[in-house]
Amino acid sequence: MTETNDSPDTTPTPDEAPNAQPNPEGTPEATAPAEPQGMEIDRDARMWAMLCHLTGLVGVIGPLVVWLIKKEDSPFVDEQGKEAVNFQLTMLIYGIVAGLLCFVCIGFILAPALGIVALILLIIAGIKANDGHHYRYPPYLIIRFIK
């Protein structure tokens, strides 16, 4: 006589458990998301990361000072501080080029547009950093001086 196994197969299909991976025993385990959630970053780190971005309103000195003082406290502040300093250095270079282009009248249009774009991106970056997101400025707009 042969025995038949009437018990249903308990192994989930890929559609049922997209994040499940079998462990050595063959049962599925859920994997953790690759991106850390906003609540995993403490409140002080989020505040200092936000300040790194928003002190860019006073130029490159603001983010540089905040980043240099607080970069050892949290990897999140270090990352966001580098991002803010890189953005401010890039905007400084773009501002100098726009100022030079004022001699051929193009700079009078570029300089205000650059200021508006920089202000909008600073506000977005500050909000995202305060929410605990690892914000990156658009790669086609920023030069990464500090890695």
Of residues 36, 72, 31, 69, the one with CA closest to residue 51: 69
Q: Has residue 29 got a pLDDT over 70?
A: no
Stretch 66-81: mean pLDDT, rounded? 91
Q: Which pLDDT belongs to residue 34?
A: 42
Predicted confidence (pLDDT) per residue in 79-112, tens digit: 999 999 999 999 999 999 999 999 998 989 999 9
Mean residue pLDDT across the chain: 80
Q: Which pLDDT belongs to residue 38?
A: 42
What pTM was estimated for this model as a whole?
A: 0.70
Task: Give the span between the Cα atoms of 147 and 145, in whole angstroms.
Answer: 6
Could you state, in order of their start, the residue ranges of all structural domains in the chain? Answer: 39-130
20, β-bridge pairs: 30
Of residues 52, 88, 96, the one with CA closest to residue 70: 52
- CB-based burial of residue 33 (10 Å sphere; 0-12 exposed, 13-18 middle, 19+ buried)? exposed
Place 125 in a pLDDT band, splitting at 50, 70 and 90: very high
